């Protein structure tokens, strides 16, 4: 029986009608840094019990990534929120056996090692499925578990390059650029989460688990819109276009009177008509150069110049108010300062605070998406030290006593 089927609650709480949607699902999270742990974070936000496993002699490097405050990394508390932390040496035979014992009462394993690592540790899916036929193994890697590139080291940056997004990011007169966040890892985590929940749902019918195989490059490639038919059917290779979208106009950034840039997206016919009215030039909509989607695309540069000639005459807030009144999608390009001061973020509880053991109130993004009846929840920040929950997890699940735990710790098994 899996943890989901038995509805085991490690904290001994009675089952509630209003419980979180993934409560009762137990996840063993292996791997480090971004793609795998972000999948764990998303499942944990909706109530899954996430047991984060780190090596006793080599903690997750993400603990030290990002900016630091009083020696504490500021990314870790977000990425590892809602997770319980244990240590386990999977490079040893005894550590592998302990992991297999944990698998007996687990629903999902998340790992993002190079393909072959789990097999090297005698922890292949086939071996673990013999122990627990319902186990779901979510595997995220640069190139996937099959194919000629599967054994290559694959970070998010390489996946972004191979997936095609780097080639279209930046300006045409400059080298390809990266997006300002680890978008490849994040996309892989999102697809891995979708796959995991799909496999979990399917298990209700078959009673069997399966492997969820997510490649970073494929996750990036999957959001590349019509890049392939553009090339194969129309002979068009999409390249770097700066702030515009090929064939979509107007959709750009425009400078205002007070030297601030705003975003305006008005490529649909009805929206463009409202933009012309907002600019005080309703006749533009009837101009043959702009009155169809294709015509606006053909005359994109000239149209953008006309729009910016108007925005340069307006203070930023005035322009945004006029556009909002007319129903034209527009907005500031937000900095972190703009985000924390915005009333909409506050009203939607998109910046929440949880107590950090050394830093006090710790701000972080709220839960996405928002469920109306069973919303997600952030109960606590990531554990400040690896193995913080060893006694809880090994004691409750495997019934290890203090003496056993001390002995395993001394031998660096945990």
Q: Which domains does the chain have, with CATH numbers?
A: 26-223+359-411 (3.40.50.10540), 251-334 (3.30.1540.10)
Beta strands of 184-260 (E only): which ranges? 211-215, 251-255
Share of the chain above pLDDT 70, in %: 96
In this predicted model, what pLDDT tens digit does every residue of 219-272 receive, in sequence order? 999 999 999 999 999 999 999 999 988 889 999 999 999 999 999 999 999 999
**Helix 390-397 with 402-410: angle, nearest 10 deg:** 120
Omega before 369 within 30 of 0, i.e. cis: yes
Contact present, 342 and 334 (Cβ < 8 Å): yes
Task: Supply the Cα-derived Rg of the chain in whole angstroms.
Answer: 25
Asked if pLDDT for residue 53 goes beyond 70, the answer is: yes
Rounded Cα distance, 185 and 32, in Å: 12
In this predicted model, what pLDDT tens digit does every residue of 197-234 receive, in sequence order? 999 999 999 999 999 999 999 999 999 999 999 999 99
Q: Is the dihedral of CA 14, 15, 21, 24 positive or negative?
A: positive
Q: What is the pLDDT of residue 245?
A: 84
In Å, the largest CA–CA distance within the chain is: 83
- Catalytic, 185? Answer yes
* End-to-end CA separation in angstroms for the chain: 26
Q: What is the pLDDT of residue 247?
A: 84
Q: What is the pLDDT of residue 16?
A: 52
Going by their DSSP bridges, the two strands 261-265 and 251-255 should be labelled as antiparallel
Residue 36 to residues 32, 187, 236, 273, 322, Cα–Cα distance (Å): 7, 11, 35, 45, 44
Asked if pLDDT for residue 17 goes beyond 80, the answer is: no
Question: How many CA atoms lie within 13 Å of 215's alpha carbon, on the beta-carbon side?
Answer: 21
User: Structure tokens of 80?
Assistant: 């590892």
Residue 63 to residues 54, 79, 158, Cα–Cα distance (Å): 11, 9, 23
Place of tokens 């690592």: 117
Q: What is the pLDDT of residue 246?
A: 80
Place of tokens 């600019």: 279
Mean pLDDT computed over 75-84: 97
Tell me if residue 362 falls in helix, strand or coil: strand
CA-based nearest residue to 290, from 236, 325, 301: 301
Omega before 311 within 30 of 0, i.e. cis: no
Asked if pLDDT for residue 60 goes beyond 70, the answer is: yes
At 397, the pLDDT band (50, 70, 90 cuts) reads: very high
At 371, the pLDDT band (50, 70, 90 cuts) reads: very high
Q: What is the pLDDT of residue 9?
A: 44
Which H helix or E strand runs over 252? strand 251-255
The residue count for the chain: 414
Q: What is the pLDDT of residue 362?
A: 97
Burial 221-251 (b: 16+ CB within 10 A, else e): beeeeebeebeeeeeeebebeeebbebbbbb
Neighbours of 395 (CB within 10 A): 16
Rounded Cα distance, 146 and 165, in Å: 22
Distance of CA 44 to the CA centre of its chain: 13
Neighbours of 288 (CB within 10 A): 8
Q: What is the pLDDT of residue 368?
A: 97
**pTM, entire model:** 0.91
> Rounded mean pLDDT of the chain?
94
Place of tokens 């540069």: 301
Q: Quick one: CA torsion of 120, 124, 127, 132, rounded to 10 degrees?
A: 140
Asked if pLDDT for residue 34 goes beyond 90, the answer is: yes
Q: What is the pLDDT of residue 66?
A: 87
Which entry of 60, 107, 185, 389 is annotated as an active-site residue? 185
């Amino acid at each position: 029986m899996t943890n989901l089927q038995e509805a085991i609650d490690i904290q001994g709480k009675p089952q509630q009608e209003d419980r979180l949607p993934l409560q009762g699902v137990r996840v063993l999270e292996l791997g480090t840094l971004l793609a795998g742990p972000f999948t764990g974070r998303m499942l944990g936000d909706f109530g899954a019990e996430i047991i984060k496993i780190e090596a006793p002699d080599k903690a997750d490097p993400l603990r030290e990534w990002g900016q630091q405050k009083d020696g504490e990394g500021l990314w870790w508390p977000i990425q590892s929120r809602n997770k319980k932390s244990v240590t386990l040496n999977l490079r040893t035979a005894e550590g592998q056996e302990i992991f297999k014992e944990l698998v007996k009462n687990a629903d999902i394993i998340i790992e993002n090692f190079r393909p072959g690592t789990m097999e090297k540790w005698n922890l292949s899916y086939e071996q673990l499925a013999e122990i627990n036929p319902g186990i779901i193994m979510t595997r995220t890697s640069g190139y996937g578990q099959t194919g000629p590139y599967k054994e290559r080291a694959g970070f998010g940056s390489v996946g972004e390059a191979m997936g095609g997004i780097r080639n279209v990011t930046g300006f045409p007169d400059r080298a390809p650029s990266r997006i300002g966040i680890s978008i490849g890892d994040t996309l892989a985590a999102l697809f891995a989460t979708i796959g995991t929940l799909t496999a979990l749902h399917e298990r209700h019918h078959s009673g069997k688990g399966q492997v969820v195989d997510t490649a970073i490059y494929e996750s990036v490639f999957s959001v590349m819109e019509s890049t392939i038919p553009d090339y194969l059917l129309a002979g068009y290779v999409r390249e770097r276009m700066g702030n515009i979208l090929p064939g979509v106009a107007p959709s750009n950034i425009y400078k205002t009177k007070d030297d601030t840039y705003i975003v305006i997206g008005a490529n649909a016919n009805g929206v463009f008509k409202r933009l012309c009215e907002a600019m005080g030039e309703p006749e533009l909509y009837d101009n043959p150069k702009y009155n169809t989607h294709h015509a606006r695309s053909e005359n994109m540069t000239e149209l953008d110049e006309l729009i910016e000639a108007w925005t340069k005459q307006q203070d930023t807030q005035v322009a945004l108010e006029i556009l909002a009144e007319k129903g034209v999608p527009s907005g500031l390009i937000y900095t972190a300062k703009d985000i924390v001061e915005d009333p909409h973020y506050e009203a939607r509880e998109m910046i929440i605070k949880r107590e950090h053991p050394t830093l006090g109130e710790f701000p972080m993004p709220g839960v996405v998406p928002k469920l109306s009846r069973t919303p997600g929840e952030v109960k606590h920040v990531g554990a400040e030290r690896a193995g913080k929950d060893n006694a809880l997890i090994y004691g409750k699940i495997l019934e290890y006593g203090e003496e056993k735990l001390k002995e395993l710790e001394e031998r660096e098994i945990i």
